[in-house]
Amino acid sequence: MTGNSLDPHLARYAARTEGMRASAIRALFAVANRPEVVSLAGGMPYLASLPLDQLAAESAELIAKDGRVALQYGSGQGLPELREQICQVMSLEGINAHPDDVVVTVGSQMALDLVTRIFCDPGDVILAEAPSYVGALGTFAAYQAQVVHVDSDDDGLIPAALRSAIASVRESGRKIKLLYTIPNFHNPAGTTLAVHRRGEIAAICAEAGITVLEDNPYGLLGFSGTVYPAIRSMDADNVIYLGSFSKTFAPGLRVGWVLAPHAVREKLVLANESATLNPPVFNQMMISRYLANFDWQGQIKTYRELYAERRDAMLAALEAHMPEGTAWTHPDGGFYVWVTLPEGFDTAAMLPRAVTARVAYVPGTAFYADGFGTRQMRLSFCYPTPERITEGVRRLGAVLEGEQEIMRTFGTGFARRSVGRGPNSPSPDTT
Amino acid sequence: MTGNSLDPHLARYAARTEGMRASAIRALFAVANRPEVVSLAGGMPYLASLPLDQLAAESAELIAKDGRVALQYGSGQGLPELREQICQVMSLEGINAHPDDVVVTVGSQMALDLVTRIFCDPGDVILAEAPSYVGALGTFAAYQAQVVHVDSDDDGLIPAALRSAIASVRESGRKIKLLYTIPNFHNPAGTTLAVHRRGEIAAICAEAGITVLEDNPYGLLGFSGTVYPAIRSMDADNVIYLGSFSKTFAPGLRVGWVLAPHAVREKLVLANESATLNPPVFNQMMISRYLANFDWQGQIKTYRELYAERRDAMLAALEAHMPEGTAWTHPDGGFYVWVTLPEGFDTAAMLPRAVTARVAYVPGTAFYADGFGTRQMRLSFCYPTPERITEGVRRLGAVLEGEQEIMRTFGTGFARRSVGRGPNSPSPDTT
């Protein structure tokens, strides 16, 4: 390990710690959070539509009536009532599951951590879409797993590309442990895996002995109201499914879950206990009451309409303000549009100038483990109002115009002063 | 990896997963939670004295007024206000710390996990008291660290034993990364590290280049009201300090923290984000309001008096009901008494008979990484009432008498049918 001689602990760290580095992007995001900046970077849901007064009353009743349970230690697997309700939520996606195979976790991020922990030795390979969720890439790196990206198109992961990735990784002598995939309203790509590909991908992985890790935080947030069948609904034995209430309700209670084949579930409970003893009981009971006593499906409908309107604002603004030769995805749900700029742009190098122009985004390199994504960027439409989105994309268009000016005058090399690349660790700003 | 051919994922697990096994003790604890059993096994605080109605009102106000923040994503390091308040709490133990060096975690268990994650490669050694906290041993095992126990006496860890442990481990060619120690009202030993030993232990570790991991959930629960200076108060550069609100307030919100030297703190924030993105914001704001608006020190005094009365009941009952030759510790705080039975007893083998006689405890082997603790047991006095404690110890005395009868008739070998040994993973029952 090299570097910082100011840290006397340096020689004492584990090998895995070398991969944990703060991205230079972080400092920029601190600036990006100022109110005058339109942040198209964050993945924060827009919570203004939540019935806060009723939730307040619900939490008060929970503590007054059940406080001695809600404030006590609990089970490492999570509350049985909540796990039953989670099975009902998953049934909307065609999943037939038993509550005994569900483990409640501190957000689905903790589930990602635990699955990686029990499956991956250093050097093991995880296949993932190109691009993929920055927070997953950070967790995989923390366990020294190697990510190999598999090509995707507008219909999501390409089965033929998956087959050839498996073959070429195996030829290199490495072990493939997981296929990590976000089938619905992908973060960051904004695409959805075509239903006709789902069974094929499940079958390829089952045949190859590779466990599918299906991450599905956005599945119920399809703008047309369509809910696609989960990959898990097609293969109960070889798929580990991650779910979350962060996007369909709110992230501040940090309640997610993992549904796994029984033997894997046992390991996950032990790992969960080793990590946190148990997920917070109050939070689980609060979610359980929310599902029992509130119109949670109505709330999801509200979110869908809200986000659809913002998606429309973003797509219209992109049409109006992006330079010629720019391409972007047209998401039917979720939070994100993935933008590909013409050759020559470097979105990481450009970020400081964008923030100066009071607009922020996440550079594409954050979503690749292998340095790709230089001319891509993720724009999120979940948090700002439609007016702010329009204004933000307008500012972004002006920045891109300025960049093109510089490139025309001085050549593309001038723009390439990147401030930070690669997934590093996820920050809540980039979820 | 061997065993369970029913798990098709078996060949896919990481090497570290082999160490994750459910203890046979778990099944017994499920029985031990029945109301007719007096459980002296659990480490659950007694929450009946909490002002639930006021806490209910506080949570309602929090959600109604600040719900959009409380239910949103937050910072991976934790809320600045709460970190300032945590520094005030730690100042009671002589710690002079900056909020910037505090990281809020999902209970201090998550902090234990993260510290082990950033420091320990497989095979690295962690020194720990003999016996030590079962939940820490489980986490260390999950990272394939090796625990070497250091002898302790009624005054806690013995400095000379620490020196010789360091020398002999190094002679064997292994790297020592951490000294894990619980200085106050030790779990499970019930002992407190003498103040005059603290500086010496800090100095030994600093000289040897071994980071001290000071775990202090019980420090404010001294029955005489004495608060001992933390080891961290004597060495800010080489000590990582873990704290928790689980015992001084309530565990159900899962809010703990780690105070670390600055460079280590940076790594811990990245690891925290990789594990959970951020600890739940609602929970942090609730604790912050509790510290600001409630008489939290008065609540701690209430807990102290409550637990002191229960400790008295337990010590009196042990005096009355334990067989000759039994020794036990006399804790001045915390939750636990550590009992050493005469030669020939096997507390793990005896546990099913104890549960049948409607009393439960944790066998001593759970608190050692190396198979010791056969004739030891941990008795907790935190949760049952004094009357139940007295009755529980009476039942335990009767079981021991029956065991002695068998040993006199058939020899000690007969009693040795152990149901489960070693730390395995912690269960909330054994925290």
Position B8 in a domain: no
- B121 and B19: one domain? no
Position A214 in a domain: yes
Q: Is the pLDDT of residue A327 over 50?
A: yes
Which tokens is B102 given? 């505090």
Return d(Cα B269, Cα A416) in angstroms, integer: 29
The mean pLDDT value for A290-309 works out to 98
CA-based angle A43:A47:A48, to the nearest 5?
135
Search chain B and give the residue with CA nearest A22.
B270
- A288 and A306: one domain? no
Position A419 in a domain: no
- The percent of residues above 70 in pLDDT, for chain B, comes to 93
**CA distance, residue A287 to nearest chain B CA (Å):** 12
Q: Is the pLDDT of residue A194 over 80?
A: yes
Q: What are phi and psi of A181, to 5 degrees?
A: -140, 145
- B152 and B222: one domain? yes
The mean pLDDT value for A386-402 works out to 97
Q: How many CB pairs under 8 A join A and B?
A: 296
Least reliable range by pLDDT among A188-192, A209-213, A422-426: A422-426
Return d(Cα B260, Cα B278) in angstroms, integer: 18
Q: Which member of A14, A117, A276 has the closest CB to residue B110? A: A276
Q: What are phi and psi of A32, to 5 degrees?
A: -65, -20
List the single best residue of A16, A72, A238, A246 to mutate versus B (max B Cβ within 10 A). Answer: A72
- Residue at which a domain ends, from A252, A275, A293: A293
Return d(Cα A109, Cα B273) in angstroms, integer: 9
Pick from A399, A392, A410: nearest CA to A347: A399
Residue A234's CATH number: 3.40.640.10
Q: Are B71 and A251 in contact (CB under 8 A)?
A: yes
Search chain B and give the residue with CA nearest A255.
B280
The mean pLDDT value for A264-292 works out to 97
List the single best residue of A54, A273, A287, A289 to mutate versus B (max B Cβ within 10 A). Answer: A273
Q: Which member of A22, A261, A427 has the closest CB to residue B266? A: A22
Kindly list the distances between the CA atom of residue A293 and the CA atoms of A102, B112, B224, in Å, as whole numbers in the listed order: 22, 37, 47
Q: Residue A9 — pLDDT band, cuts 50, 70, 90?
A: confident
Q: Is the pLDDT of residue A161 over 80?
A: yes
Position B422 in a domain: no
Contacts of A118 in chain B (CB under 8 A): 13-14, 16-17, 20
Q: Are B206 and B227 in contact (CB under 8 A)?
A: no
- Residues B339-360 have pLDDT tens digits of 999 999 999 999 999 999 999 9
Whether A135 sits inside 8 A of B277 (CB atoms) is: yes
Residue A361's CATH number: 3.90.1150.10
Position A56 in a domain: no
Confidence at residue B33, expressed as pLDDT on a 0 to 100 scale: 77
- The percent of residues above 90 in pLDDT, for chain A, comes to 86
Search chain A and give the residue with CA nearest B177.
A12
- A195 and A247: one domain? yes
Which tokens is B344 given? 């020939």
- Residue at which a domain ends, from B251, B268, B293: B293
Q: Which member of B22, B57, B254 has the closest CB to residue A266? A: B22
- A256 and A314: one domain? no
- A230 and A266: one domain? yes
Return d(Cα A138, Cα A113) in angstroms, integer: 10
The mean pLDDT value for A49-60 works out to 97
- Residues B100-145 have pLDDT tens digits of 999 999 999 999 999 999 999 999 999 999 999 999 999 999 999 9
Mean pLDDT of chain A: 92
End-to-end CA distance of chain B: 29
Whether A47 sits inside 8 A of B68 (CB atoms) is: yes
Confidence at residue A426, expressed as pLDDT on a 0 to 100 scale: 42
List the single best residue of A180, A274, A380, A383 to mutate versus B (max B Cβ within 10 A). Answer: A274
Return d(Cα A407, Cα A400) in angstroms, integer: 10
Has the ipTM of the complex gone over 0.90? yes
Which tokens is B122 given? 């497989």
Which tokens is A163 given? 């087959």
Domain boundaries, position B279: 73-293
Whether A267 sits inside 8 A of B17 (CB atoms) is: yes
Position B355 in a domain: yes
The mean pLDDT value for B324-339 works out to 97
Confidence at residue B422, expressed as pLDDT on a 0 to 100 scale: 47
Q: What are phi and psi of B361, to 5 degrees?
A: -150, 175
Least reliable range by pLDDT among A82-96, B233-247, B251-265, B415-429: B415-429
Whether B17 sits inside 8 A of A106 (CB atoms) is: no
Confidence at residue B24, expressed as pLDDT on a 0 to 100 scale: 62
- The percent of residues above 90 in pLDDT, for chain B, comes to 86
Whether A276 sits inside 8 A of B71 (CB atoms) is: no
Contacts of A60 in chain B (CB under 8 A): 56-57, 59-60
**CA distance, residue B216 to nearest chain A CA (Å):** 16
- A31 and A146: one domain? no
List the single best residue of A134, A255, A276 to mutate versus B (max B Cβ within 10 A). Answer: A276
Confidence at residue B426, expressed as pLDDT on a 0 to 100 scale: 42
Whether A282 sits inside 8 A of B22 (CB atoms) is: no
In this structure, the number of other CB atoms found within 10 A of the CB of residue B343 comes to 10
Confidence at residue B428, expressed as pLDDT on a 0 to 100 scale: 43
Q: Are B282 and B69 in contact (CB under 8 A)?
A: no
**CA distance, residue A72 to nearest chain B CA (Å):** 4
The mean pLDDT value for B259-277 works out to 95
- B304 and B288: one domain? no
- With tokens 């008291």, the residue in question is B129
Q: Are A247 and A335 in contact (CB under 8 A)?
A: yes
**CA distance, residue A401 to nearest chain B CA (Å):** 34
Whether B13 sits inside 8 A of A267 (CB atoms) is: yes
Whether B22 sits inside 8 A of A177 (CB atoms) is: no
In this structure, the number of other CB atoms found within 10 A of the CB of residue A83 comes to 23
Return d(Cα A115, Cα A4) in angstroms, integer: 32
CA-based angle A95:A97:A98, to the nearest 5?
165
- Angle at which helices B281-293 and B52-70 cross, to 10°: 130
Return d(Cα B280, Cα B291) in angstroms, integer: 17
DSSP assignment of B231-254, as one string? Answer: GGGT-SSSEEEEEESTTTT-STT-
Whether A428 sits inside 8 A of B278 (CB atoms) is: yes
Domain tally, chain B: 2
- Residues B171-215 have pLDDT tens digits of 999 999 999 999 999 999 999 999 999 999 999 999 999 999 999
Whether A72 sits inside 8 A of B251 (CB atoms) is: yes
Q: Is the pLDDT of residue A361 over 60?
A: yes
- Residues A213-271 have pLDDT tens digits of 999 999 999 999 999 999 999 999 999 999 999 999 999 999 999 999 999 999 999 99
Return d(Cα B284, Cα B292) in angstroms, integer: 12
- B359: which residues sit within 8 A by CB, 6+ positions away? B37, B38, B39, B40, B392, B393, B395, B396, B399
Return d(Cα A244, Cα A257) in angstroms, integer: 6
- B273 and B374: one domain? no
Q: Which member of A12, A75, A431 has the closest CB to residue B211? A: A12
Search chain A and give the residue with CA nearest B18.
A118
Confidence at residue B130, expressed as pLDDT on a 0 to 100 scale: 95
Contacts of A6 in chain B (CB under 8 A): 263
Return d(Cα B188, Cα A98) in angstroms, integer: 37
- With tokens 């045949």, the residue in question is A207
Return d(Cα B208, Cα B169) in angstroms, integer: 12
- A263 and A195: one domain? yes
In this structure, the number of other CB atoms found within 10 A of the CB of residue A174 comes to 14
Q: Is the pLDDT of residue B1 over 50?
A: no
Position A368 in a domain: yes
Q: Which member of B14, B52, B246 has the closest CB to residue A67? A: B52
CA-based angle A282:A286:A289, to the nearest 5?
140
- Residues B27-61 have pLDDT tens digits of 667 777 788 999 999 889 999 999 999 999 999 99
**CA distance, residue A206 to nearest chain B CA (Å):** 11
Pick from B175, B181, B221, B173: nearest CA to B202: B181
Whether B59 sits inside 8 A of A60 (CB atoms) is: yes
Contacts of A57 in chain B (CB under 8 A): 60
Search chain B and give the residue with CA nearest A275.
B110
Q: Is the pLDDT of residue B10 over 90?
A: no
Search chain A and give the residue with CA nearest B69.
A252
The mean pLDDT value for A404-431 works out to 59
Return d(Cα B376, Cα B326) in angstroms, integer: 10
- Residue at which a domain ends, from B270, B293, B316: B293
Whether B72 sits inside 8 A of A267 (CB atoms) is: no
Search chain B and give the residue with CA nearest A51.
B64
Q: Which member of A4, A14, A267 has the closest CB to residue B118? A: A14
- A254 and A315: one domain? no
- A191 and A335: one domain? no
**DSSP designation for B341:** P
- Residues B373-420 have pLDDT tens digits of 999 999 999 999 999 999 999 999 999 999 999 888 887 665 444 444
Position A143 in a domain: yes
Q: What is the pTM of this model?
A: 0.94
Return d(Cα B403, Cα A93) in angstroms, integer: 56
